[in-house]
Amino acid sequence: MKVKLALPSVGLILLVGAGCAQKEIVPDETIAVSKVKPLPLIVTKSDIGDYSGGIVLTKGAALPKGPVEVKGITLQSTKFDIPVVINSQVLRWVDYFTGRGRELFEVYLHRSEYFIPYLQRMLKKNEMPEDLVYLAMIESGFNHGARSRARAVGAWQFMSFTGKRYGLKVDWWVDERRDIKKSTMAAMRYLKDLHGIFGTWELAAAAYNAGEYKIARAIQRFGADDFWTLTRQRFLKPETRNYVPKMMAAAIVAKNRVPFGFKESYLDESKSEDELEEEAETLIQKQADLQEKTEQELAETLEEYDQDYVAEGQTRPAVFVEGEHEESAAPIPVPHVDAHGKIAGQDLIELEIHSPADLLKIGRAAGLDYREVKRYNPEILRWCTPPTEDRYRIRLPAKVKDRFLAQYNHPAFPRVIHFKKVKVQRGDTLQRIARRFGLRAEPLADMNGKSEKAPLTAGVEVLLPMPSDPTRSPSSLDLKDPPRRRSRSRHRSHHRAVLPEQSSLQTVSR
């Protein structure tokens, strides 16, 4: 067997430790691996101990005779579209999720009510195993705002380098690792590439955790292309050796939640879509100057506005993105987790607007609070959309579409952002000015088209990434980055999947 380490847009760099370290290799380098007996789809009692030391359950395969029991509990669901093994490593995590880690796993199940339907629809559409949702479950606990000690971010816990490699934008203004749709698309591409390299979903998941180069080296070193064989060696870190069993245990318990003593549904405890819509409706009603408009009335209104924009050589400031909002009898809400970790879902639409755009003014036009707009667009880190882009797509509740378009597109609506300006003092650089205002120099360099360390001419004005409006306090503008946690180890991987007795799994519930 040959494992070819070549991924789209990778170039000369492949990751060791999923982005924590880097190693240069020759492009298209192949690592020869001796062929071993392939992992069987079904392991019968006579096969137990051959590879995984347990029973393998796969979609559409004949199960062992009689019911399948785990710790004396008969499984109601034994259908999985990725190999799921019942062995000692997996059972340790089953014990943890149903024992000491039960309270935390209940939080995961609570969030899964919204995340799993949304993610599985995307996986199915892209012909990927739907049970890969449990990889996201153990990565972040289904929290798109999760941030690890190693600075991995989002529901799929991408490191910055890997996220950028798969098309996610990560800078001072936005972090698309926090965008559930975009990050899921990137994760699917990454996992599909890993599966293409290694041939099994177990090795693909292990490589997602440790990095593809690390797994390829393990295969080369031990002459085996089976995950369970590789876990018998100490070459892979404990977190990687336990990563796949942890994912399998999460799938087993989540699909058999009632037999394991969990509730069948947690939707009654979630903040429902109806409740969120009611809040939005309350805010809308406070705006007495606007009335509900039909689609025809809205179209006529926007056409009138367009005459003013065309006369000035401009285009409409905000447009509804046709085709992005999936119409169905039962639309699947877009999941989002607030700053306190509470889960909810909302039927959202996409709109394309001129950028930069002030989120506070977007909220006013839609009848929403500033924090609500941020919650629906978690990838936007600051108070406005990136000034480095001409147009930007935002998400808002479908119910406020007409109101927002009518209000925001009105020629008299105060959309234009006036950034604060400051005069350069003798000896100033953008770095020095940034420190003076407690900012990073990166956004100043973006906005002013100058190097961070280049000397500036005294007396000229430079733009700051904050509005000139004196009523807006710096604390309300989200100008500060989240605090950085110190990693215990310099080369620590971005995942923390150690043995149950060594971990409280707190890193994935943040």
**174-207 pLDDT per residue, tens:** 999 999 999 999 999 999 999 999 999 999 999 9
Residues 189 and 302 in one domain: no
Residues 290 and 162 in one domain: no
Rounded alpha-carbon distances, angstroms, from residue 132 to 72, 160, 252, 495: 26, 21, 13, 17
What is residue 43's predicted lDDT score, i.e. its pLDDT?
31
Tokens describing residue 486: 């110190």
How many structural domains comprise the chain?
3
| Torsion on CA atoms 500, 502, 508, 509, rounded to nearest 10 | 90
**508 belongs to a structural domain:** no
52 confidence band (pLDDT: 50, 70, 90):
low
Residue with tokens 């605090």: 483
Q: In 3-state terms, the chain is what percent helix, strand and coil (to 5)?
A: 40, 15, 45
Residue where one domain finishes, among candidates 235, 268, 301: 268
Residue 285 CB burial class (10 angstroms; 0-12, 13-18, ≥19): exposed
* Host H or E run for residue 276: helix 273-285
What is residue 65's predicted lDDT score, i.e. its pLDDT?
64
Residues 35 and 155 in one domain: yes
* Host H or E run for residue 348: strand 348-354
Q: Examine the pLDDT at 479 and tell me if it is beyond 80.
A: yes
Residues 297 and 403 in one domain: yes
3-state secondary structure at position 173:
coil
For 69-112, how does the pLDDT look when each residue is reduced to its tens digit (9 = 90+)? 888 888 888 889 998 989 999 999 999 999 999 999 999 999 99
**How confident is the model over 249-278, as a mean pLDDT?**
78
What is residue 11's predicted lDDT score, i.e. its pLDDT?
32
On whether the CB atoms of residues 452 and 441 are closer than 8 A, the answer is yes
Cα–Cα distance between 481 and 243 in angstroms, integer?
30
Residues 288 and 370 in one domain: yes
3-state secondary structure at position 158:
strand
CB atoms within 10 A of CB 148: 22
Direct distance between the N- and C-terminal alpha carbons of the chain, in angstroms, rounded to an integer:
41
Residues 108 and 142 in one domain: yes
Radius of gyration of the chain (CA): 26
**How confident is the model over 233-262, as a mean pLDDT?**
94
Residues 11 and 83 in one domain: yes
Residues 153 and 27 in one domain: yes
For 415-474, how does the pLDDT look when each residue is reduced to its tens digit (9 = 90+)? 999 999 999 999 999 999 999 999 999 999 999 999 999 999 999 999 999 999 988 988
Tokens describing residue 187: 């994760």
Rounded alpha-carbon distances, angstroms, from residue 180 to 32, 142, 375, 379, 461: 37, 10, 12, 9, 39
Cα–Cα distance between 499 and 115 in angstroms, integer?
26
**502 belongs to a structural domain:** no
Q: Examine the pLDDT at 336 and tell me if it is beyond 90.
A: no
Cα–Cα distance between 235 and 231 in angstroms, integer?
8
Q: Examine the pLDDT at 24 and tell me if it is beyond 90.
A: no
Residues 233 and 304 in one domain: no
Tokens describing residue 115: 């995340």
Task: Give the residue numbers spanning the domain of 320.
Answer: 273-408
pTM greater than the 0.85 cutoff: no
Angle between helices 359-366 and 401-408 in degrees, nearest 10: 120
Residue where one domain finishes, among candidates 408, 440, 462: 408
